[in-house]
Chain A
Amino acid sequence: MTARAFAGMLQARLYVSRRLVAYSCGCAVLVALAAPAGVTAPLFLCSLLGIVIALDQTPGRHRHLDRCEQSAPLFGRELARAKALVPCIAATLATLLFAATQFARNAPDAPATLLVVPPAVIACALTALSATTRRGATRALYVLLAFATSAGAYALAVIAHNYPAELAFCVIVAFLALRQYGETLARFDPI
């Protein structure tokens, strides 16, 4: 896949989801203005936003983009990488805006938000992507798994105070989730 095709797909996906991304960022800023201390609120809120934006990539929601991508000479894993970056970018942007609002309020938790939340949000969004190619109970299971990923990251970073373990956990989960999403897209039956 060329960098141009990758950028083209990413740009088109972000363009059709632009309202959702804008609402997510607005929601992050509003909650950051009212949020209590700690990284609990940004971690779980931005994970939820990541899941919502990941589910927006479900085949059929943007039918013409889906058809263009399916008929383009691209491998499943290439499609997966480009599509996976959309919820990651959007959720990370929401996290950055959350942290920026905390900085503006002189909240002491802003550096912790910047450090702890992005890995958890990215791992959560990538896990939720596998739900987009499934239906019914399996879909719900992957959404629950995504929430469980955030909860695991929270337990390691906030309860156990072990940031390297949180980072390692999120990297492993994100790698496995992206790999599985690529394999699922390669086998995906568009009918």
Chain B
Amino acid sequence: MPLLRMRDASFANTTARAGPLTLDLEPGGRVALTFASSQEATIVALMAAGIAKATTGSVFIGDYDPRLQSVHCKRIAGFVPHEPLQLDEGDFPRYIAYRAALWNVEATAAQACARLLCERLEGMHEAFSYPLIGALIATPQLIVLDRPQPAYAAQILRAVEGRALLSTHAHPSNAAAFT
């Protein structure tokens, strides 16, 4: 059974529009989607993570509909935003403690996991690795990346391991690095 199911899922409000999009993503699967604009790529990533609700069509994360059971969806999907995180190295343990508290992950286990992931993501700029580590400490089954940096594709794929991965991109060449 697919971990992420989108059927003609689209989003529209007065300022933004995305989709329609249909896809199935199996557990452990990987898909990299390219869109005409950065805004559309972000909206689709937010829909896939259960943060933005589709205005037409349907999205299921696991067995859950984000419009009705968004809390369950957010336990399954981890979202990594495109924007770099401006954080001093000294603030990193505080950031991990904050993320662990929000996802109710045991604090010492989260810090140990974060240290391990830091080693695995060696060579990746902290501004991009910290949000990914923050998402991974909650051990989500699905990782959604909004326009990740293709230069760090190898490190990201190594850190994500066997989890399902959906990445959105604004250029086909960037998407190729994640397939």
Taking beta carbons and an 8 Å cutoff, which residues of A are in contact with B?
2, 4-5, 7-9, 11-12, 15, 63-64, 67-75, 189-191
Contact of A190 among B51, B83, B99 (CB under 8 A): B51
Chain B residues, Cβ within 8 Å of A189: 13, 52-53
Report the bound CA distance from A190 to B15 in whole Å: 12
User: Would you call B85 an interface residue if the criterion is a C-beta within 8 Å of the partner chain's C-beta atoms?
Assistant: yes
With A67-B81, A72-B74 as contacts: A11 and B98 at CB distance below 8 Å:
yes
User: Given A67-B79, A68-B134, A69-B102: A191 and B43 within 8 A (CB)?
Assistant: yes
When distances are taken between beta carbons in the complex, the residues of chain A under 8 Å from B51 are 70-71, 190
Q: Check B52–A190 contact: CB distance below 8 A.
A: yes
B98 and A73 within 8 A (CB): no
Give the docked Cα–Cα distance between A26 and B78 (Å): 40
Determine the residue in chain A with the shortest Cβ distance to B39.
A191
**List of B residues within 8 angstroms of A7 by Cβ:** 101
Inter-chain contacts of B131 with A (CB < 8 A) = 64
Max chain B C-beta neighbours (<10 A), residue from A70, A71, A72: A71
Question: Quick check: B83 and A5 within 8 Å, CB to CB?
Answer: no
Determine whether the beta carbon of A12 is less than 8 Å from that of B85: no
Evaluate contact between A191 and B46: CB separation under 8 angstroms: yes
B104 near A4 (CB under 8 angstroms)? yes
Tell me if B116 counts as interface (CB < 8 A to partner A).
no
A64-B85, A189-B13, A191-B46 in contact; A4/B101 too (CB < 8 A)?
yes
B72 contacts chain A at the CB level, 8 A cutoff = yes
Distance, CA A7 to CA B51, complexed state (A): 22
Nearest 5 pairs of A and B residues by beta carbon:
A8-B101, A72-B102, A71-B79, A73-B74, A73-B71
Q: Contact check, B11 vs A191: say whether CB atoms are below 8 A apart.
A: yes
Of the listed residues A5, A7, A74, A191, the one surrounded by the most CB atoms of chain B closer than 10 A to its CB is A191
Q: Are A68 and B52 in contact (CB under 8 A)?
A: no
CB-CB under 8 A from A64, the residues of chain B are: 81, 83, 85-86, 131
